[in-house]
Homo-oligomer: A and B are copies of this chain.
Amino acid sequence: MAAQKPSCVVFGGGGFIGTNLCRRLAASGYRVRAFGRRRLFPAELDGVEWCQGNFTDTASVEAAIESCDVVFHLVHATMPQAADLDMAADVQNNVIPTLALLDHCRRSGVKRVVFASSGGTVYGRAQQIPTPETAPTDPICAYGISKLAIEKYLALFQHLHGLDFRVLRITNPFGPFQIALKNQGVIAALIARALRDQPVEIWGDGTVVRDFVFVEDVVDALVAAATDQGSERVFNIGGGRGRSLRDIITAIERQMGKTLRLEWKPGRPLDVPVSVVAIDRAAQTLGWVPNTPFETGLERTIEWAKKTLPTVKIPPQ
A contact set with B: CB distance below 8 Å: 84, 87-88, 91-92, 95-96, 99-100, 134, 136-142, 145, 148-149, 152-153, 155-156, 159-160, 269-270
B-chain residues with CB within 8 Å of residue A88 when the two chains form the complex: 96, 99-100
User: Given the complex of chains A and B, what is the CA–CA distance between A85 and B134 in angstroms?
Assistant: 29
B-chain residues with CB within 8 Å of residue A92 when the two chains form the complex: 96
Known A-B contacts A149-B149, A153-B87; the reply to A160 vs B269 at CB < 8 A is yes
Q: Is the CB of A148 within 8 A of B152?
A: yes
Which of B142, B160, B269 makes the CB contact (< 8 A) with A153? B142
Q: How many monomers of this chain does the complex have?
A: 2
User: Given the complex of chains A and B, what is the CA–CA distance between A110 and B193 in angstroms?
Assistant: 44
User: Given the complex of chains A and B, what is the CA–CA distance between A46 and B149 in angstroms?
Assistant: 40
In the complex, residue of chain B having the shortest beta-carbon distance to the beta carbon of A122: B152
Q: Is the CB of A145 within 8 A of B149?
A: yes
B-chain residues with CB within 8 Å of residue A84 when the two chains form the complex: 156, 160
B-chain residues with CB within 8 Å of residue A138 when the two chains form the complex: 152, 155
In the complex, residue of chain B having the shortest beta-carbon distance to the beta carbon of A86: B99
Smallest CB-CB A-B distances: 9 pairs: A145-B152, A149-B149, A88-B99, A140-B159, A87-B99, A88-B96, A160-B269, A138-B155, A91-B95
Q: Is the CB of A156 within 8 A of B149?
A: no
B-chain residues with CB within 8 Å of residue A100 when the two chains form the complex: 88
B-chain residues with CB within 8 Å of residue A96 when the two chains form the complex: 88, 91-92
Q: Which of A134, A139, A148, A156 has the most CB of B within 10 A?
A: A156
Please name 6 further chain A to chain B contacts, defined as beta carbons within 8 Å, in addition to the given A140-B160, A142-B156, sorted by A numbering.
A84-B156, A137-B137, A139-B156, A145-B152, A148-B149, A149-B149
Query: How far apart are A84's CB and chain B's nearest CB, in angstroms?
Result: 6
User: Given the complex of chains A and B, what is the CA–CA distance between A283 and B132 in angstroms?
Assistant: 30
User: Given the complex of chains A and B, what is the CA–CA distance between A137 and B159 in angstroms?
Assistant: 15
User: Given the complex of chains A and B, what is the CA–CA distance between A92 and B141 in angstroms?
Assistant: 20
B-chain residues with CB within 8 Å of residue A269 when the two chains form the complex: 159-160
Query: How far apart are A304's CB and chain B's nearest CB, in angstroms?
Result: 36
Query: How far apart are A167's CB and chain B's nearest CB, in angstroms?
Result: 12
Q: Can you give 8 contacting A-B residue pairs, CB < 8 Å? A: A84-B156, A84-B160, A87-B99, A91-B91, A134-B136, A138-B155, A140-B156, A160-B269
Query: How far apart are A25's CB and chain B's nearest CB, in angstroms?
Result: 30
User: Given the complex of chains A and B, what is the CA–CA distance between A270 and B84 in angstroms?
Assistant: 32
B-chain residues with CB within 8 Å of residue A91 when the two chains form the complex: 91, 95-96, 99
B-chain residues with CB within 8 Å of residue A136 when the two chains form the complex: 134
User: Given the complex of chains A and B, what is the CA–CA distance between A155 and B124 in angstroms?
Assistant: 11
B-chain residues with CB within 8 Å of residue A141 when the two chains form the complex: 156
